[in-house]
Structure 1
Amino acid sequence: MRWDLDPFFGLFEDNIAPAPTPPPEKGKNSCDRKIPIGVVVGITGVLTFVISMLLSLGVALCIRRKAHQENGNESESRTTYGTAPPDIVADDITTSGSYQFDFREIEAATCNFQKSNKLGHGGFGEGTFQNGTEVAVKRLSTNSGQGEQEFKNEVLLVAKLQHRNLVRLLGFSVEGAERILVYEFVPNKSLNYFLFDPVKRSQLDWRKRYNIITGIMLYLHQDSRLTVVHRDLKASNILLDVDMNPKIADFGLARNFRMNQTEANTGRVVGTVGYMPPEYVANGQFSMKSDVYSFGVLILEIIGGKKNSSFHKIDGSLRNLVTYVWRLWNNESLLELVDPAVGENYDKHEVTRCIHIGLLCVQENPADRPTMSTIFQMLTNTSITLHVPQPPGFFFRDGASPLAEGLTIGQSSIMSFACSVDDASITSVNPR
């Protein structure tokens, strides 16, 4: 067989291709012309894109409007205590991993919040669950000034904090207007339960008082993960465990500072009179030096067994606690501050050094106050020379400053601006 590679031209000579379509004649209607496919595809794509953009914009506007309404409702619900729906409050908090107790369970544990179960003069009460677990229960009253935001703040913040000198939060409960916090039980109640009681104060010898001072300082100095300004350090918020070790409680007013943040301002000054530094009362400015001031007041209270809100006679006139101690400093008689219940069994040099540190903490200018790390060094290293303190905040001079006069207690025990001197209360002060 033989293959022929010549082309087969002749086979298809009769199949001639048709002639091309002649162009349309002039004068005919242009609508008879065909639109190229590319143009049709282009127009369709543009229309699809425009419609998609309009739909996306509409959806975005709807979502934004809905979010704005929800934020407005949430903000409005926080303006008055107890107005936020309980399920919303609980849902916000449970995301932190905190346990929610049934309110009836807490009522039963506290015998319907009997006053006999109250722990000291603060807002804490004792309770026992059916399984025998003892707890400390904090019940927020509707007139406490602590609202939804403070309640959430305390639960969320304490859940993040970890320190052996903090009261451990076990959970919370929300029922109607009721807001309950459940903490680990501390058998010796609060510091003020012992410190300001004429009989029980004798149980606090100097070594116990010194350990309480250093225990509070360790929390303020060593909390590693967060920079927190407590803003309400006071004797009633220091709970004592079975060994009389301090446990700091009540973080409803606390603020968590961002990294590298050193201070903040607020138009709503809250706290307890006597423990708040002057720059906070006057201008709403707070920082870690605010807690340093409160810590200094606590040192003077613990050593003297005297409330900062009480007045003491010296040099022929009544003075508040920080002014009283400042006068003792100038008279070189600091040991007169020591609570007689302590007795004579104490290290005079150690006590004098602690009073000196307390005066450094309550200086009027926050820049003059030491940091907590410096206080740690001063308390643990006696070879460090202490600076001479400057006059304290709220120092009652012969011609008292307007701010000091604003804190003067009259016969009616009413302050000249809207705040309470009750250590158990959370006060609200309008900055002047």
Structure 2
Amino acid sequence: MIWKRGRKIGSGAFGSVYIGVRDESKIPLMAVKSAEFSRSKTLKKEAELLLNFELCPHIIDCYGADESVEHGERLYNVFLEYAPRGSLADYIEKSKIRGGLHEDKVKKHTRSLLLGLSFIHNLGYIHRDINPSNILIDSKGNAKIADFGLAKKYRKKSEKKRSKGCIGTILYMAPEIIEKEVYEPPVDIWALGCTVVEMITGKPVWDFPDADPFVVMFTIMSVGMPEIPKGLSEEAEDFVRRCLVVDPEKRWTAEMLLDHPFVASMEEGKLIPCNGDMPKSACNGGFKNWTIGCC
């Protein structure tokens, strides 16, 4: 691939992101995530994962990777879909004056994220860092899951091992991460619930301005479910409660949540088949007996 590096548009723990310009391409602009080759293990893993997820339109596209030597420095570069509208965090920040995003837009983004998470989980992976900064908005206004630097394959119950430390963004961490350092698909659903609240209200579900991280972690572990803000619609409140169930065994899955009335009316796409088969819904008949409240 022939390309040129443009301006820097972001940076993180695992590298810096630049605009990339491709010659003779129908998609001239891309995002290039780069890291020093000697420190590129995480970036290489992210590229491999994204190529596994290329069939899902709700996950940021990866066009491949290469190595380059620039200014005497050897770099590893991953070529990603460019999202010109920035991150969901940017959208939320702009919406604070209005008190959050319009609920119809929240429903649309939430359904897209659920479709992406269902695809990831059915392939046996967990993202481990779902939050507004890691969700990008493409040129058509669609939300896409990005930043898979912390993603990993999860173990079956018989193979479960305690993880080494808490990983992720504190305000979106599920209680079981802090208490037991356990990472399974329900941790992504908890983080999604926190993200939905933030989209609707313009504020994080946990209100800890400049608090010590250990204070935040202790509060999450001891309080469990955060207080659900007032002003949410009945369907939105119930959806959030299904996500923020303290017991991960009772927390709803992405497939179950796709049938929830809060997002079921949205028709942004169909669930992407995994390994050639359509995943079986765990919802057993939908919402014939739907009631408001937590599982």
Shorter-chain TM-score above 0.5: yes
Q: Deviations over 1:170-215 (max 9, x none)?
A: 1224454644322012221211111122579789432222100111
For 1:252 and 1:246, the matched residues in 2 are separated by 18
**Paired residue for 1:210, among 100, 107, 115?**
107
**Paired residue for 2:48, among 145, 156, 164?**
156
Q: Deviations over 1:306-347 (max 9, x none)?
A: 1345449xxxxxx99998x95457xxxx31xx5xxxxxxxxx
Letter in 2 for 1:388: G
For 2:116 and 2:35, the matched residues in 1 are separated by 25
Structure 1 position 128, deviation (Å): 2.5
More helix by share: 1
1:169 aligns to 2:84 (yes or no): no
Rg: which structure is higher? 1
For 2:144 and 2:158, the matched residues in 1 are separated by 26
For 1:198 and 1:160, the matched residues in 2 are separated by 34
1:360 aligns to 2:242 (yes or no): yes
**Paired residue for 2:254, among 362, 369, 372?**
372
Match runs of 1:47-66 below 5 Å:
none
CA contact (8 A) 2:100 2:198 kept: no
**Alpha carbons of 1:303 and 1:221: their partners in 2 closer, same or farther (altered >3 Å)?**
same
Q: Deviations over 1:130-174 (max 9, x none)?
A: 4461102234589xxx95442222111111122010111012244
Structure 1 unaligned runs (5+)? Answer: 1-100, 313-318, 339-350, 391-432
**Alpha carbons of 1:261 and 1:299: their partners in 2 closer, same or farther (altered >3 Å)?**
farther
1:303 aligns to 2:192 (yes or no): no
For 1:233 and 1:191, the matched residues in 2 are separated by 11
For 2:171 and 2:121, the matched residues in 1 are separated by 28
CA contact (8 A) 1:139 1:180 kept: yes
**Paired residue for 2:31, among 136, 154, 160?**
136
CA contact (8 A) 2:83 2:139 kept: yes
**Alpha carbons of 1:326 and 1:156: their partners in 2 closer, same or farther (altered >3 Å)?**
closer
Residue 110 (structure 1) aligns with: 6
For 1:131 and 1:245, the matched residues in 2 are separated by 26
Letter in 2 for 1:362: L
**Alpha carbons of 1:277 and 1:243: their partners in 2 closer, same or farther (altered >3 Å)?**
same
| % identical aligned pairs | 21
What RMSD, in angstroms, separates the aligned Cα atoms of the two structures?
Answer: 3.7
Letter in 1 for 2:50: V
Query: Higher relative contact order by CA 8 Å / sep ≥ 6: 1 or 2?
Result: 2
1:180 aligns to 2:77 (yes or no): yes
Match runs of 1:236-315 below 5 Å:
236-257=133-154, 264-308=161-205, 310-311=207-208
Structure 2 unaligned runs (5+)? Answer: 210-215, 265-285
Q: Deviations over 1:245-281 (max 9, x none)?
A: 1111111111123678795531143211111112112
Match runs of 1:328-407 below 5 Å:
328=228, 334-335=230-231, 351-379=233-261, 380=264, 383-386=288-291, 388-389=293-294
**Alpha carbons of 1:384 and 1:252: their partners in 2 closer, same or farther (altered >3 Å)?**
farther
For 1:263 and 1:377, the matched residues in 2 are separated by 29
Moved more, 198-207 or 181-190: 198-207
For 1:177 and 1:259, the matched residues in 2 are separated by 38
Residue 279 (structure 2) aligns with: none
Letter in 1 for 2:239: I
**Alpha carbons of 1:230 and 1:224: their partners in 2 closer, same or farther (altered >3 Å)?**
closer
